[in-house]
Amino acid sequence: MRSRHLGSQIGAGLKSMIGGELKGLTKTLVQTRNQAMERLAERARARGANAVLMFRFDVTEAADVGTEVCAYGTAVVLARE
């Protein structure tokens, strides 16, 4: 779960009225998505896996407080090292 500070949220709200990319929100979403992938990879390695199949993201707005990004997939061993 990640949220942005009040100033960013107000700026994004104003920008959304006139249209265009919300670059600050895009940056935050990319950072959050990368962190979710890293956590998934760490958990897969901890279980002895060296790959993740059927990798997916699930993104949910949390009551105007923040955005939840979940990364999930199936941890597998493709080839023994």
- Residue 1's pLDDT band, with cuts at 50, 70 and 90, is very low
Q: What is the pTM of this model?
A: 0.68
How does strand 51-62 pair with strand 66-76? antiparallel
Query: What's the average model confidence in pLDDT over 25-40?
Result: 89
Is it the case that residue 12 has pLDDT exceeding 70?
no
Distance CA 33, CA 31 (A): 5
Is it the case that residue 7 has pLDDT exceeding 50?
yes
Domain total of the chain: 1
Number of other residues whose CB lies within 10 A of the CB of residue 13: 10
Q: Quick check: is 72 in a domain?
A: yes
Q: Quick check: is 81 in a domain?
A: no
Q: Quick check: is 56 in a domain?
A: yes
Condensed to tens digits (0 to 9), the pLDDT of residues 40-59 reads 999 999 999 999 999 999 98
Burial class (CB in 10 A: 0-12, 13-18, 19+), 56: exposed
Q: How high is the pLDDT of residue 73?
A: 96
Q: Which domain holds residue 15?
A: 6-76
Amino acid at 18: I
Q: Quick check: is 1 in a domain?
A: no
Distance CA 26, CA 42 (A): 24
Q: Quick check: is 16 in a domain?
A: yes
